[in-house]
Chain A
Amino acid sequence: MACLLEAPLRISVLSEVTATSRHYVDRLFDPDPQKVLQGVIDMKNAVIGNNKQKANLIVLGAVPRLLYLLQQSSSSPELRTECAVVLGSLAMGTENNIKSLVDCHIIPALLQGLLCPDLIFIEACLRCLRTVFISPVTPVQLLYTDPTVIPHLMSLLSRSQRTQEYITQIFSHCCKTPEHQTVLFSHGAIQNIAPLLIYHSYKVRMQALKCFSVLAYENTQVSMTLVNVLVEGELLSQVFVRMMQRDQPIEMQLTAAKCLTYMCRAGAIRTDDSCVVLKVRLSADLFTLIIVGASLSNVAPSSPTQALPCLVRMCSKEHLLEERVEGAETLAYLMEPDVELQRIASTTDHLVAMLADYFKYPSSVSAINDIKRLDHDLKHAHELRQAAFKLYASLGSNDEDIRKKITETENMMDRIVSGLSESSIKVRLAAVRCLHSLSRSVQQLRTSFHDHAVWKPLMKLLQNAPDEVLVMASSTLCNLLLEFSPSKEPILESGVIELLCGLTQSDSPALRVNGIWALMNMAFQADQKVKVEIVRSLGTEQLFRLLSDPDSNVLMKTLGLLRNLLSTRTHIDQIMSSHGKQIMQAVTLILEAEHSIEVKEQTLCILANIADGNAAKELIMTNDDMLQKIKHYMGHSNVKLQLAATFCISNLIWNEEDVQAVVNSDCAHKGSQERQDKLREMGFVDVLHKLTQASDPNLCDRAKTAMQQYLA
């Protein structure tokens, strides 16, 4: 914990710096230590609550001198303590003050001070450190540069109530990344802080609770540990549950609910746990169990209260705007993966209607009556809106009834539409997430989405947006391009193909998937014109690059696109005539490489489509290697692959009876006869025979129909 002291800052004499401020600084250089101490004490009294004075003193270079005095072992303990107090006071000022302090290396100096045995001095240092670290301008990394700091702080936790309060507060503000979590965790943060949750001081309890919420956030290791921690014989989750009771301060309820939410999302608590949904009393049975001696942990996971109802309550109008934002965001996070929670939340306390209030800031009343209120409302308006969108997105992500309820909320679609073009990126992102969630409903796609022409702002959003917005927006677009969506036509006309093709070249796999997915949806049962346009715009080169994409989702969707492109006979022949060679090559490569069953199945389906073409058939028939592969898959252990391969063969041996075939029936018939003969030679008939005995009814049917072609 070394600290280099820089020479006092060069001070340009500023006119506004008063003589008194200078006097205070001058006194710090007095040779008489007693006078220095008095000087520091006077300075302390002068700066309290006086931001201007603080700024003056900083400009005049008081900080390095104070730090020097603080670090000097020759200084008396009182002097060192007073120095730390003055520094703490300076830190209480503006953000600029904090920056200056950090620039003067105050943090290492104060951390060094913690090694001193004097508790009063330690507390003064910690208070100052706390003030510095909770400022957003301080780089939190500074806490972790010296590896001895964290263990030392842990050891100081037991010293006094103040050290507990300050240290937990520092931890809760300085734990921002998984690495930080790991460092704190590995130094016994949980064991050291857990007892503080039942400490008598509210401040300490609250800071300890905050620590747990930041520690558990998206951290499975921490969360799994937390589940088994006992505080005075009580499970931690039950302590959290108790903290969520309605007579507790809102901040505590909210943070406790967060802790449980994070534990739940990290998989440490099941979502059907009563912690999350319902408060279950310790019933008589449970008591008997305990009395009989069953260990508490056996029954404990069903510890009571209600993270979910608690969070829903936080969304209600009676709470502060900040609390409502946090409540909604946490709730959204909690139920994101769980449809059952979404269903419960959607009926709890009119949540869906309650969220509509989030859009009413600044209200017209506040604008007229109270400038301060207006300012406050304006500041939170964006946060509120994005939180509401997030929560709606989460609520509506699975259940059709909930989606309906959401879209029927007053002006909901209008709000989303305007949210899509808001200046705040957070709001735009949340709005598009919400839209995406709702776009998973066939009914909504057909009705409200079309009525409100959501595709327009969505397309605009796609033009120029950061990746995270693009991902959500393009996902939504995928749904809007489904063939039954009435928005599909206007979107096509707005030049979406170029845009999507552009996305497939993105570095982000998610964007590539979405781009190709949207193209696939677009190509489904599309006109020849659209298909040609897709192929032209995407370019074969890009298409085949995508077929070797490392992301299997991209590959799957590209195959899907190919399959959609290769549907109906004329389209097949047309595309195969121009790109047949490359396509066959790609198919061969995929079938030969290591891929999942789904990929192979999709590839075989493409082959089957090709086999359905008139001219395209020949590309397979002339490729013995390919036929061998098909034969191989017909005998594969996986029924899906067998089915696809059989389907392909069935197409190849098909005896054409349709109108087109009649025109040149001779030729066609001849062709099918030839193919049948060749395939018989290759032993396909035997294979088909075998398959007619297959246990799978579909496969069996398919094989039988194919056999009938031989008889015809």
Chain B
Amino acid sequence: LSFPEAATLKPACCGTTLPRSPCSSLQFTLLLIRGCHTAAIFSPQSLSLSAYSSSPLTRARSGNPEHELNERLKHLYPAVNEEETPLPRSWSPKDKYSYIGLSQNNLRVHYKGHGKNHKDAASVRATHPIPAACGIYYFEVKIVSKGRDGYMGIGLSAQGVNMNRLPGWDKHSYGYHGDDGHSFCSSGTGQPYGPTFTTGDVIGCCVNLINNTCFYTKNGISLGRVLISFYTLYQPNLYPTVGLQTPGEIVDANFGQQPFVFDIEDYMSEWRAKIHGMIARFPIGERLGEWQVVLQNMVSSYLVHHGYCATATAFARATETLIQEDQTSIKNRQRIQKLVLAGRVGEAIEATQQLYPTLLEHNPNLLFMLKCRQFVEMVNGTDSEVCCLSVRSPKSQDSYPGSPGLTPRHAAGNAHLHAAGADSPTCSNGVTPPAKSKSHGFTGGVKYASVSSSSASASSSTSSSPSSVNYSESNSSDSTKSQPHSANSTQETSDSEMDVEAEHYTNGVVEGSSARIMNGTYKHEEILQPDDNSIGNGVTNDSCSNGRQLCGGNQAATERMIQFGRELQMLNEQLCREYGKNTTHKKMLQDAFSLLAYSDPWNCPVGQQLDPTQRESLCSALNSAILVSQNLPKQPPLMLALGQATECVQLMARVRSGSCSFARVDNFLH
């Protein structure tokens, strides 16, 4: 795959957030689109799991074991969404036989039965089963004391397997036993497997959900694959399990509380490399050049979609591709977007009405959202209607205080997402769930599903971002048509079109993402129209909150704002009459109006709305609506592909395909 050097494109490219390795990620996403999702897996270049690179873990402050555990688990199993499938962290005080005693935060297990014969065996399972999204799961058990006879078994079992037994004796249960070193696979007779183990030894159990195998370790040495076919691993959810049989036996579990003796990360890195190799070598099977054309078109359409006019032209020239949309149209869109992003929503509405006369008429929801935003911007003092009345220069209220370019901000956002550990929705550079608060935003399928089902609550803290509701589990797995995106997004026509393209993965598409990228346009001054210069350039920073005043502190402006609020209220009522009650609108309006209730709207519970980043989703919605009105796709194919890829990987986790853990889209986007 050759790809023209970016050098030729540089002049206009400065603000873009194209993936640094467009070829590989594009190839990946396209592979997914072509329906080869099951095999496609990723290698994260960012995660080199060496002994050294793992050091951040070990370096973690030992002061807080809980924090350390969370960090380590997150590092080991980044693909696991713990809200959906929590990881085992201790033994379950409920799921155990009565002869088992637990202590030390349910990590230490001791035997308290008679231990006369095998009928006195007792087991305990971990609190949770091993999530498939782990890909490779590992835990260790240290033999604190072998007790009388050392009849100890370390292994796995499914829920419901008799706990009055050692792991391995029954169906759906597997174990490595210390007294004879045999491995038991759902059978009362073990097979010679490894050495015996006793006091002081550390025994590990590793489950590989990619190839459905299992192996044990002793003191950090891998003892080799368990010989019995482990196809049953695929079926029930298996729990880490330990069984004891004679008095005095004590073992301590390590589910990640401490660094493991066995180098599991090295083992994981091997599989990651394998899976990466699989993706890299995946046969494309197309005629020469065809693939490249597809990739070029994707890049080109992406650039056009977001209005990177000069870049798109340069790219088209270099790759000899055609741009579907004409230059003026792109520039118009760009101008409107710029206005929205600058907070000059009123002007944006005007410009839209001028350039696309029927657009907002046909999209009353969008119009309402824009107006709501306009109100918020008035409070902010950035909308031109109040701006011109304000004694302060519009420059002083720059829309992006402290964030001159997009890329750094984006990176920060990503880092934040990583830290929060829920990666599923962050498939692209841009899923920017508007609410960046930790309580919200990084939840993945389930959470979003619930959001969309009760859209009233969707905007509780994110009133200005209807597009945040695009993740819906139910949608992704079955028909999309029945599911409205969200009450107030501008869907109908666009939805159906998108559905077709995305092969029922519509909801993987990340709308919000585009907005962030929009920021890049700030830099493109040569395409700013002269009268726009003031907004684009205003980098005079005035971010300290005590300098901010309602509507820029101007009395006339405040009156205008009140006036506008009334109009907005009327518009809402009108819409209610025409289209019926709309709770999302109501909520949005409420939130916007509540800003006035606080003396310092920037530091109030609903102050989030004033954040310039909130403009992005709206901007993207408007852009999409314009594109749809021009019979152009609502989403750039690149984003569709990304969304689909993300959704596929999530789907893999749900169907217990372990390789998804090494096939994470965000690893490919830098």
Collect the chain A residues with CB atoms within 8 Å of residue B195's CB: 347
Selected interface stretch from B122-130, B220-228, B375-383, B442-450: B220-228
Collect the chain A residues with CB atoms within 8 Å of residue B58's CB: 281-284, 287
Q: Scoring A residues 278 to 320 as 1 if CB is less than 8 Å from chain B, else 0, what string do you get?
A: 1111111001000000000000000011100100000000000
Tell me if B482 counts as interface (CB < 8 A to partner A): no
B221 touches A309 (CB 8 A): yes
A684 to B222, CA, bound (A): 66
Known: A245-B269, A247-B48, A247-B270. A281 touches B223 (CB 8 A): no
Tell me if B333 counts as interface (CB < 8 A to partner A): no
CB contacts under 8 Å to A, within B240-273, are 259, 263, 266-267, 269-270, 272-273
| Dominant SS among interface residues on chain B | mixed
Collect the chain B residues with CB atoms within 8 Å of residue A245's CB: 50-51, 266, 269
Q: Scoring A residues 148 to 161 as 1 if CB is less than 8 Å from chain B, else 0, what string do you get?
A: 00000000000000
Tell me if B232 counts as interface (CB < 8 A to partner A): no
B221 touches A344 (CB 8 A): yes
Tell me if B49 counts as interface (CB < 8 A to partner A): yes
Tell me if A569 counts as interface (CB < 8 A to partner B): no
Tell me if B52 counts as interface (CB < 8 A to partner A): yes
A414 to B58, CA, bound (A): 51
Q: Assign chain B's interface to a size class.
A: 20 to 34
Tell me if A533 counts as interface (CB < 8 A to partner B): no
A305 to B50, CA, bound (A): 10
Instruction: Tally chain A residues at the interface, Cβ within 8 Å.
Output: 26
Tell me if A350 counts as interface (CB < 8 A to partner B): yes
Tell me if A242 counts as interface (CB < 8 A to partner B): yes
Cβ contact of A241, chosen from B48, B51, B218, B224, cutoff 8 A: B51
A304 touches B51 (CB 8 A): yes
B55 touches A247 (CB 8 A): no
CB distance from B360 to the nearest CB of A (A): 54
Collect the chain A residues with CB atoms within 8 Å of residue B221's CB: 278, 309, 344, 347-348
Cβ contact of B59, chosen from A284, A306, A353, cutoff 8 A: A284
Known: A242-B52, A246-B273, A279-B51. A347 touches B266 (CB 8 A): no
A281 touches B222 (CB 8 A): no
Tell me if A349 counts as interface (CB < 8 A to partner B): yes
A241 to B50, CA, bound (A): 10
A247 touches B225 (CB 8 A): no
A287 touches B55 (CB 8 A): yes
Closest B residue to A279 by CB, please name it. Answer: B263
Tell me if B54 counts as interface (CB < 8 A to partner A): yes
Known: A245-B50, A347-B195. A287 touches B225 (CB 8 A): no
Cβ contact of A349, chosen from B50, B55, B220, B224, cutoff 8 A: B224
A349 to B263, CA, bound (A): 14
Closest A residue to B274 by CB, please name it. Answer: A247
Collect the chain B residues with CB atoms within 8 Å of residue A278's CB: 220-221
A349 to B221, CA, bound (A): 8
Collect the chain A residues with CB atoms within 8 Å of residue B62's CB: 284
Q: Scoring B residues 201 to 233 as 1 if CB is less than 8 Å from chain A, else 0, what string do you get?
A: 000000000000001001011111100000000
CB contacts under 8 Å to A, within B134-160, are none
A246 touches B269 (CB 8 A): yes
A282 touches B223 (CB 8 A): no
A189 to B50, CA, bound (A): 28
Q: Scoring B residues 39 to 82 as 1 if CB is less than 8 Å from chain A, else 0, what string do you get?
A: 00000000011111011001100100000000000000000000
B269 touches A348 (CB 8 A): no
Taking each of B62, B223, B224, B259, which has the highest tally of chain A beta carbons within 10 Å of its own beta carbon? B224
B267 touches A282 (CB 8 A): no
Known: A247-B272, A305-B51. A279 touches B266 (CB 8 A): yes
A247 touches B49 (CB 8 A): yes
B-side residues, CB < 8 A to A, are: 48-52, 54-55, 58-59, 62, 194-195, 215, 218, 220-225, 259, 263, 266-267, 269-270, 272-273
A-side residues, CB < 8 A to B, are: 241-242, 245-248, 278-284, 287, 304-306, 309, 344, 347-351, 353-354
Cβ contacts A to B, 14 pairs, < 8 Å: A241-B51, A246-B270, A247-B48, A247-B269, A247-B273, A279-B266, A281-B51, A347-B195, A347-B223, A348-B221, A348-B223, A349-B222, A349-B225, A351-B224
What would 8 more interface pairs be, CB under 8 Å, given A245-B51, A281-B259, A349-B224? Answer: A245-B50, A247-B270, A247-B273, A279-B51, A279-B220, A281-B54, A347-B223, A348-B221
